[in-house]
Amino acid sequence: MPIIKTILEYLRLFRFHAVSMETTIILIGALVMGQREIPLLLVIFLIGLFGHITGYVLNDYADLEVDKKSDELKEKPLVSGLISKKTAILIAVISAIITYSLTLYFFPYVQTLLLLGLATLLTIIYDFYGKKIPGSDFIVAGTITVFCLYGASTVGLPFNNIIYLVCLTFFFDVVFINVVEGGLKDVDHDYLSGARTFATVAGVKVKEGKLFITKKFIVFSYLIRALYFLTVIYLGLQTELNIWKGDNYLLLILVIIFMILVLLGSAKLLNMKEFDRGKMKKTYGGLNAASGILYLLVLSPIFGLVITLFLVLYPFLWYTIFNTLLFGKPMQPRV
């Protein structure tokens, strides 16, 4: 296999296009706590990157038999056989060792190591048992929340109120991403394979190309979105941010606009009648972008213009560039 193709297959296994999600979250954790030293932020970025690789490679390894049941996933590196299961495990172990080594060298704090250990434990539980545990997507959300607190812990204790609210915002957002977006995207083969995701347990299924979403699933989805909005609103009420009572009307208008975009995108996803994975990916790609920009706008008073612009542009540019490179389309990964 040509070297370029080999490299691309490994990057696809790493879900390299999605690295910006975990790295942005861990960076936000540190930035909210006041970290501004670029060398240390770069180390935190690398920890997020290798943590991401560990989690997703293990996930593909654990889901291999389920993924084989979907024709649309036949080109995934492990499903196609281009990368072996033994190689995948080796990569995951090496990435985990790098993650722990960087932490031990730069941030040898008790709280940091405990949070990293908890994130690792939750990742393993989800990757190997997630398809068998109804509601296991809450484990993913918990992992991301711990990752956010991990980033904050590299700066020190005690945590402030804003970091707790930010991590809680991530929790509700990731629950929606995994339970609703991920559940709908994979429901065709999850349903056939008997995987016990929240979507399949709630009765969501695909028959003859038609997507059947149950009322209980819709109610749950909107409840999670409502909790997300309430957390964002409460976050904006914090004295350091003062979004709702301040005199920055442009920022207030932008926050309201993106709240509406998140609500409309969520509604569009939950009203789909045809099972079209490509269309779903486009919808939740835009939805996740709007959601991310929303909480960055709320945090902009403590980040300042430069950091806010970076955190808005970096995930978008990273995702579109590497998604185009790896899958040929800026917003539709082949996963």
Domains of the chain, CATH where assigned: 3-327 (1.10.357.140)
- Separation between Cα atoms, residue 247 and residue 245, nearest integer Å: 7
The reported pLDDT for the residue numbered 313 is 93
Helix (H) or strand (E) holding 212: strand 210-212
DSSP 17: G
Question: What's the first-to-final CA gap in the chain, in angstroms?
Answer: 22
| CA–CA dist 236, 241 (Å, integer) | 6
Please give the pLDDT value at position 330.
66
In this predicted structure, what is the pLDDT of residue 78? 81
pLDDT of residue 13: 87
* Spatial distance between the Cα atoms of 171 and 178, rounded to a whole number of angstroms: 11
Each of the 335 residues of the chain gets a pLDDT tens digit; together they read 578 888 888 888 899 988 998 899 999 999 999 999 999 999 999 999 999 999 999 988 887 777 676 666 677 788 777 888 889 999 999 999 999 999 999 999 999 999 999 999 999 998 888 767 766 778 888 999 999 999 999 998 889 899 999 999 999 999 988 888 877 777 776 655 566 677 777 778 777 777 888 888 889 899 999 999 999 999 999 999 999 988 899 999 999 999 999 999 898 888 888 777 777 777 877 888 899 899 999 999 999 999 999 999 999 899 889 988 888 776 555 55
Distance CA 225, CA 229 (A): 6
State residue 128's pLDDT score.
84
Q: In whole angstroms, what is the distance from residue 14 CA to residue 79 CA?
A: 14
